[in-house]
């Protein structure tokens, strides 16, 4: 185990550009208390067994028949056995063969398992076929019987037994690593490495093996623990070290024979065995975690930053203005909606209205909180997030506080269509059955009626030959068809509002045009309102009457679409529109917004766009900027809006 870990560590440290300041693997492992205890135990064991004569005054074989089964005493720290032999001495001398066995079996296990696993997964073809078949055959063999056969051929030869056990265990590791390699082989960074001219050996060593490190370490540790137990078992059966030579298994056997006369003897015989097995497992886990922590993403997104996020989020309260009361005319009226995920505020005081039959676009880049806002309206915030302030009024009823009210409007009041239609569909049922189930849930009625209605729904989203498509499974549909089915599913409850989160982003442009056309048509036919989340100005222009632009968790601009396109009143809106290559001038650089959307925990106190804005002044950064209404029907969160209007030349 340690050899592999060391190899991985070396690969990381020796590489020319590794950052010298990052602590080495050993130090990162030793930061974990469990690892320290496990290492201490294993180190103590190693030291005590190798230097056994220094630790014990008695020869493991010398008998003291006056002192049999004595229990712990001054001269025999752990007591004596039935023949009066010192148990500590026998334990330490016996431990040598245990550790030796682990090293032998593990070496063989890793050598065969890693080599064949990588080879089979990476090369594929006949190499993979042969290796996998051989491994399957070996799975069918009972390892303990094979080991017994080997011991029958080489009586008392524990080395042969352990090497055999390593060989028999290797197919398990090989299969796991092969499966992982198959996945990693398809990753783009492998293709990039090939294009960079790396040889297969270099790719395996530099790209595949580091990704496997955690699996290899954990599997190795578990296997070592099994070896300890198997080795003890063989000793117990008297097949390992031949009596009177000591072994841990032999100690257990001796103890079991004396169990009625002196139960104490089980303690020195069993406890070290258990501790060693536990220590190996714990150390394996710790090394795995330490090897991966440098680059695993989850680490970076949690931890000490949380406190900072809270501190940063607190003063923002001062800036959020008291929202207006909900609009009684609106179908959906969101006021001051604030959502936190994992203690970090990701949506900050969002207010918006959707009138009956209206189409509103929620626009922004990723990380601006537009998807979370739309899910918040439905009470379906991902990642254990929750609404910490604000209200969601649907059709005159406040729903944000109550789980039941939220559940009641989902489907019949508000339906949802996501970017990835396949996620909305259960791959194990035909689409017709899923639709019928949704219809049945919302409208009741007989099975036959629900089935008929399901076909009608498929027809209403212009699926050719709906009867046949109803019998198909989701994987048999193209992306555009699947999105149509997902929309049909959303329509099953005859919702009054459809929230569509990037419904066409994953689709081809010609299919997108059809889905947008379908949404418009459904809207005209049913009078349903649509809140569409998108980053695409073309979609906004095509479908929406009004647009709400979000940046870093806040609404920064809101207006009817035509005046907004004619003259954006927030620099972010203007910049985002200008960056669209649709209107670009050939041969000239595209207008850009420098930088990127800040992460929620890095939101500044003042204007959140200031760092990327040409117009920003000290006043922008000083204090949170309020949403104002410089012209009727136009909201903007910019203190320079007057100069934007006067300039008038933005677009």
Partner 1 sequence: MTPPNILEVRDLSVQFRQGRGTPPLRAVDGVGFTVREGETVGLVGESGSGKSTIGRAILGLNPVHSGEIRFAGQDITRAAPRTRRGLSDRLQVVFQDPYSSLNPARTIGQTLAEPLLVHEKLGKAEVLNRVTAMLERVGMPADTAGRYPGQFSGGQRQRIAIARALMLSPKLVICDEPVSALDLSIQAQVMNLLAELQSELSLSYLFIAHDLPVVRHLSHRILVLYRGQVLEAGDAGEVYDRPAHPYTQALLAAAPEPDPAAQRTRRLARADAAGAGTGTAAAPSATGCVFAHRCPIAVDVCREKRPPLLTLGAGPDGAPSSERSVACHLVVEPPVPSPASAGPKHLPRPKNP
**Interface residues for partner 1 in 18-47 (CB under 8 A)?**
18-19, 21-22
Q: Site map for partner 1, 209-238, x if CB under 8 A?
A: -xx-x-------------------------
Give the residue carrying structure tokens 């009817």.
560
Task: Indicate the pairing of strand 386-394 with strand 332-341.
Answer: antiparallel
Rounded CA separation 462/478 (Å): 14
Query: CA-to-CA distance for 222 and 86, rounded, in angstroms?
Result: 31
Residues 429, 563: Cα–Cα separation, whole Å: 47
Distance CA(506)–CA(520), nearest Å, equals 19
Output the smallest distance, CB 133 to partner 1, in A: 20
Q: Applying CB under 8 A, which of residues 67, 565, 604, 650 lies at the interface with partner 1?
A: 565
User: Is 66 among the residues that bind partner 1 (CB under 8 A)?
Assistant: no
Under the binding rule (CB under 8 A), the answer on residue 124 touching partner 1 is no
Q: Rounded to whole angstroms, what are the CA distances from 369 to 203, 302, 345, 347?
A: 39, 19, 10, 6
Interaction between residue 511 and partner 1 (CB under 8 A): yes
Asked if 59 touches partner 1 (CB under 8 A), the answer is: no
Q: Which is nearer to partner 1, 176 or 577 (CB)?
A: 577
Q: Which of residues 432-491 bind partner 1 (CB under 8 A)?
A: 463-465, 478-481
Among 260, 586, 618, 649, binds partner 1 (CB under 8 A): 586
The one among 6, 75, 388, 592 contacting partner 1 by CB under 8 A: 592
Please say whether the beta carbons of 9 and 26 come within 8 A.
yes
Task: Pick the stretch among 29-37, 118-126, 196-204, 621-629 that binds partner 1 (CB under 8 A).
Answer: 196-204
Tell me if 512 contacts partner 1 by CB under 8 A.
yes
Comparison of 85 and 207: residue with beta carbon closer to partner 1: 207
Contact flag: residue 308 with partner 1 (CB under 8 A):
no
Determine which residue in the list 74, 155, 197, 304 makes contact with partner 1, applying CB under 8 A: 197
Contact residues for 421 (Cβ-Cβ < 8 A; gap 6+) = 479, 482, 483, 485, 486, 506
Smaller CB separation from partner 1, 165 or 537: 537
Nearest to partner 1 of 496, 601 (CB atom): 601
- Judged by CB under 8 A, how many residues of this single chain contact partner 1? 81
Q: Who's near 128: CB < 8 A, 6+ residues apart?
A: 120, 121, 178
Asked if 153 touches partner 1 (CB under 8 A), the answer is no
Query: 152, 322, 585, 632: which one contacts partner 1 (CB under 8 A)?
Result: 585
- Cα–Cα distances (Å) from 85 to 31, 246, 250, 262, 272, in that order, read 41, 10, 13, 14, 18
Strands, sheet with 359-363, edge to edge from the N-terminal-most edge strand: 414-417, 497-501, 529-534, 359-363, 546-551, 554-560, 634-636, 628-631
**Among 10-18, 114-122, 134-142, 271-279, which window interacts with partner 1 (CB under 8 A)?**
10-18
3-state helix, strand, coil in the chain (%, to 5): 55, 10, 35
140 contacts: CB under 8 Å, gap ≥ 6:
none
Residue 650 near partner 1 by CB under 8 A:
no
Give the shortest CB-254-to-partner 1 separation in angstroms.
48
Q: Which of 597, 607, 616, 644 binds partner 1 (CB under 8 A)?
A: 597
Least Å distance between CB 22 and partner 1?
A: 7
Does 540 bind partner 1 (CB under 8 A)? Our answer is yes
Sign for the CA dihedral angle at 228, 234, 240, 244 comes to positive
């Amino acid at each position: 185990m340690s050899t592999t870990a060391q190899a991985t560590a070396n690969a990381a440290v020796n590489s020319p550009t590794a950052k010298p300041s990052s602590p080495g693997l050993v130090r990162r492992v030793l930061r974990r208390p469990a690892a320290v205890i496990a290492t201490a135990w294993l180190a103590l064991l190693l030291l005590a067994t190798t230097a056994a004569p220094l630790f014990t005054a008695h020869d493991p074989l010398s008998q003291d028949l006056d002192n049999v089964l004595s229990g712990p005493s001054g001269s025999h720290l752990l007591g004596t056995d039935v023949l009066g032999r010192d148990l500590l001495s026998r334990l330490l001398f016996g431990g040598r063969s245990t550790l030796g066995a682990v090293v032998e079996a593990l070496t063989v296990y890793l050598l065969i398992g890693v080599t064949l696993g990588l080879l089979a997964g990476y090369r594929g073809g006949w190499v993979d076929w042969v290796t996998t078949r051989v491994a399957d055959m070996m799975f069918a063999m009972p390892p303990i019987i094979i080991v017994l056969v080997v011991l029958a051929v080489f009586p008392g030869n524990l080395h042969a037994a352990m090497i055999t056990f390593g060989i028999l265990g290797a197919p398990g590791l090989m299969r796991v690593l092969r499966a992982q390699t198959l996945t990693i082989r398809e990753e783009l960074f492998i293709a990039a490495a090939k294009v960079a001219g790396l040889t297969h050996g270099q790719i395996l060593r530099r790209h595949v093996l580091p990704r496997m490190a955690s699996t290899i370490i954990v599997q190795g540790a578990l296997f070592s623990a099994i070896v300890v137990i198997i080795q003890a078992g063989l000793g117990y059966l008297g097949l390992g070290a031949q009596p009177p030579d000591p072994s841990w298994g032999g100690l257990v056997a001796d103890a079991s024979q004396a169990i009625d006369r002196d139960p104490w003897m089980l303690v020195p015989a069993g406890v070290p065995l258990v501790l060693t097995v536990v220590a190996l497992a714990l150390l394996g886990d710790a090394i795995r975690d330490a090897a991966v922590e440098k680059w695993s993403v989850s680490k970076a997104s949690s931890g000490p930053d949380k406190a900072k996020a809270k501190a940063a989020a607190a003063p923002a309260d001062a800036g959020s203005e008291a929202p207006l009361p909900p609009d009684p005319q609106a179908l959906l009226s969101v006021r001051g909606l604030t959502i936190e995920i994992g203690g970090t505020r990701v949506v900050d005081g969002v207010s918006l209205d959707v009138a009956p039959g209206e189409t509103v676009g929620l626009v922004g880049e990723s990380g601006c909180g537009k998807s979370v806002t739309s899910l918040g309206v439905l009470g379906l915030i991902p990642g254990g997030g929750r609404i910490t302030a604000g209200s969601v009024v649907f059709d005159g009823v406040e729903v944000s506080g109550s789980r039941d009210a939220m559940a009641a409007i989902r489907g019949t009041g508000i339906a949802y269509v996501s970017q990835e239609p396949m996620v909305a569909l259960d791959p194990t049922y035909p689409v017709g059955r899923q639709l019928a189930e949704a219809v049945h849930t919302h409208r009741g009625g007989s099975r036959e009626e629900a089935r008929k209605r399901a076909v009608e729904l498929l027809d209403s989203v212009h699926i050719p030959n709906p009867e046949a498509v109803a019998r198909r499974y989701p994987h048999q549909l193209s992306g555009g068809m699947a999105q149509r089915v997902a929309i049909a599913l959303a329509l099953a409850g005859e919702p009054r509002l459809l929230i569509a989160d990037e419904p066409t982003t994953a689709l081809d442009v010609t299919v997108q045009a059809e889905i947008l056309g379908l949404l418009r048509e459904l809207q005209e036919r049913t009078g349903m309102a649509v809140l569409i989340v998108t980053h695409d100005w073309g979609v906004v222009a095509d479908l929406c009457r009004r647009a709400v632009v979000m940046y870093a968790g806040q609404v920064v601009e809101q207006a009817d679409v035509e005046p907004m396109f004619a003259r954006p009143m927030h620099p972010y809106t203007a910049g985002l529109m200008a960056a669209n290559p649709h209107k670009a001038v050939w041969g000239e650089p595209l207008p850009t917004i420098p930088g990127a959307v800040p992460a929620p925990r890095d939101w500044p106190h003042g204007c959140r766009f200031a760092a990327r804005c040409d117009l920003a002044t000290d006043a922008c950064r000083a204090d949170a900027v309020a949403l104002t209404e410089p012209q009727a029907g136009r909201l903007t969160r910019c203190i320079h809006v007057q100069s934007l209007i006067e300039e008038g030349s933005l677009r």
